[in-house]
Structure 1
Amino acid sequence: MNYNCPKCDNTTYEVDEMRATGGRWSKIFDIQNKKFSSVTCKKCSYTEFYKAKTSALSNVFDLFTN
């Protein structure tokens, strides 16, 4: 990936993943049906989040493992 931080123009970064709940039923059953990828600059810690797709299978797996 060719990355330049928009704040400090640094080129080193870290990629991570975050999951979150969305809506009433997913909160009640603690189903994390929203998935985001993040890119964080290693110099200034500026972070951008990008929405990623989740599969129905991973949502069902979350239901039984929480």
Structure 2
Amino acid sequence: MLPTRDDIPSLSHRELTEHLRLARANPGPYAELREALECEQAARSPGTNYCCPKCGHDSFERSEIRTARSPLSSLFNVQSARYTAVVCSCCAFTEFYQGQVSAGAQALDLILGS
């Protein structure tokens, strides 16, 4: 079911991501909603309008880490979890946001062992 423009701010992250994926794959029904979906995703991005919850500073650095999710994936050096770290430049308070690692990137980790 297509969301309305009024529904978009209340969508969960997964729902928003799925509707954006569908909008790119099947633009017809989403023609009027795609821009609103993309604006909502940009507004929710880590770092947009950032304010440190600890000290109130608004400057930050962003980095990415990848980790193994299980002992088996650790054994084969497959980094199946990705997180974006947003670090306050003033007090070093860090927030982590979960991302996704594509199947292709996981396969390369297994083959290359990197």
| TM-score bracket for this pair, using the shorter chain length | over 0.9
Partners in 2 of 1:34 and 1:17 — Cα distance? 11
Matched AA of 1:52: G
**The structure with more strand, counted as a fraction of residues:** 1
TM-score normalized by structure 1?
Answer: 0.94
In the alignment, which of 22, 38, 45 is matched to residue 92 of structure 2? 45
TM-score normalized by structure 2?
Answer: 0.56
Instruction: Trace 1:3-42 onto structure 2 (pairs within 5 A).
Output: 3-42=50-89
Percent identity between matched residues is: 35
Unaligned runs of at least 5 residues, structure 2: 1-47
Structure having the higher Rg = 2
Partners in 1 of 2:95 and 2:71 — Cα distance? 26
Give aligned pairs, total. Answer: 66
Unaligned runs of at least 5 residues, structure 1: none
User: Partner of 1:2: helix, strand, or coil?
Assistant: coil
Partners in 2 of 1:25 and 1:7 — Cα distance? 37
> Moved runs in structure 1, 4+ residues, more than 4 A?
none
Matched AA of 2:74: K
**The structure with more helix, counted as a fraction of residues:** 2
